[in-house]
Amino acid sequence: MARLMPTLAATDHLPADWRDLFALTKPRVMTLVVFTGLAGLLAAPGHMNPVLAFTAVLCIALGAGGAAALNMWYEADLDAQMRRTESRPLPAGRLNRQTALHFAVGLSATSVVLMDLAANHLAALILAFSIFFYAVIYTVWLKRRTPQNIVIGGAAGAFPPLIGWVAATGQIELLPTLLFLLIFLWTPPHFWSLSLFVRSDYAKAGVPMLPVVAGIANTRQQVFIYSLPMAAAAIAPWPLGLTGAVYGLVATALTGVFLLLAAAVLVSRTTEPAEMRAEKRLFAFSIVYLFALFGAVAADRWFPL
């Protein structure tokens, strides 16, 4: 906090720069959210008017941006203590806290109202709940209290495909539920592999991430353990007849690679972050994996074998 105050005093009286407001929405994370939401919408049966489909995806993006901005507004003190996040607009003092809060609430409310207007009540309700879940349940309640923060908080990032599907059909069905489960179970191995090699940052900020609280070996075991039900959720839509061979083959092959990389993390013994190649490989692959699986689920519906 001591580092935060002088910089804050220097520039936070200036009107906001749009680039700083844009950075509040975590645009890189939003890419994955938009992609999975779009995939959920495209995988749904039936045909949705292109304008309404575009608006639904836009609302998912705005909602994710609003939730991310609420997260950054609440965590400015925490972000100031970690190298990875200290240059964000609020801890760096480029943006006024009140402006950030107004922007976050405005974006969140607009996304829900527009979703209700363009799609249906259920999609708007799930979108509102996902914003509440990320901003309040995860950010305010869980993140600083329990090492299980990632497990439960992972649900927040799992909503977009469900919202996309519900926007198109108005109903919750088994396939989008499995896609929700896939992201929910994917989040712990994805995030814990990252937190293994940036654990000193979390320790410094006092965030009870699993590697900080339970140790490196235990985290590696948990990464592998969570990868198993994730693999089941990823492959299940094919044998259950919910998707065709396009998705089935892609999911089976890539899940096999994911499990191999998770096994490499399990047997890794290094404790030096710079040498944690297995963890970095799994983290990088996990992003490609999710993009590929959601690309495949949409491709399977439009270009079946």
Partner 1 sequence: MTDPRSDDEIVRSRQRSGARATAILLVLFVILVFAITIAKLTVNR
Q: Indicate the residue among 118 and 182 with the shorter CB distance to partner 1.
A: 118
Which residue, 50 or 239, has its beta carbon nearer to partner 1? 50
Site size with partner 1, rule: CB under 8 A: 13
Interaction of residue 6 with partner 1, rule CB under 8 A:
no
**Quick one: which segment of 15-23, 202-210, 239-247, 296-304 binds partner 1 (CB under 8 A)?**
15-23
Please provide the DSSP assignment of 35-53 as one string. HHHHHHHHHSSS---HHHH
The contact mask relative to partner 1 for 17-46 (x = CB under 8 A, - = no) is xx----------------------------
Which of 6, 28, 46, 51 is in the footprint of partner 1 by CB under 8 A? 51
Three-class SS of 75-95:
CHHHHCCCCCCCCCCCCCCCC
Residue 18 CB, shortest distance to partner 1, in Å, is 5
Q: Nearer Cβ to partner 1, position 18 or 302?
A: 18
Q: How far is CA 195 from CA 170, 203, 234, 275, 287, in A?
A: 37, 10, 23, 14, 15
Candidate residues 55, 81, 139, 149; the one interacting with partner 1 per rule CB under 8 A: 55
Query: 108, 171 in Cβ contact below 8 A?
Result: no
Query: Would you count residue 171 as binding partner 1 (CB under 8 A)?
Result: no
CB nearer to partner 1: give 19 or 269.
19
Q: What is the largest CA-CA distance in the chain?
A: 61
Retrieve residue 165's tokens.
Answer: 């599907």
User: Exposure pattern of 125-152 as b/e (b: 16+ CB <10 Å)?
Assistant: ebbbbbbebbbebbbeebbeeebebbbb
Binding piece for partner 1, criterion CB under 8 A, among 10-18, 86-94, 137-145, 174-182: 10-18
The reply on whether position 49 binds partner 1 by CB under 8 A is yes
Please list, in sequence order, all residues whose beta carbon lies within 8 angstroms of the beta carbon of residue 71, skipping any fewer than 6 positions away: 26, 134, 135, 138, 139
Q: Which of these, 153, 155, 165, 157, lies nearest to 123 by C-alpha position?
A: 165
d(CA 267, CA 196): 14
Shortest spacing between CB 45 and partner 1, in angstroms: 16
Nearer residue to partner 1 within complex by CB, 1 or 117: 117
Choice between 23 and 293, CB closer to partner 1: 23
Backbone angles phi, psi at 237, to 5 degrees: -55, -30
Instruction: Please identify, using beta-carbon distances, which residue of 127 and 290 lies nearer to partner 1.
Output: 127
Q: Which of 63, 75, 38, 230 is nearest to 131 (CA)?
A: 63
Instruction: Tell me: does residue 15 bind partner 1 (CB under 8 A).
Output: yes
52 lies in the binding site for partner 1 (CB under 8 A)? yes
Interface with partner 1, residue 16, by CB under 8 A: yes
The binding site for partner 1 (CB under 8 A) comprises 14-18, 49, 51-52, 55, 58, 114, 117-118
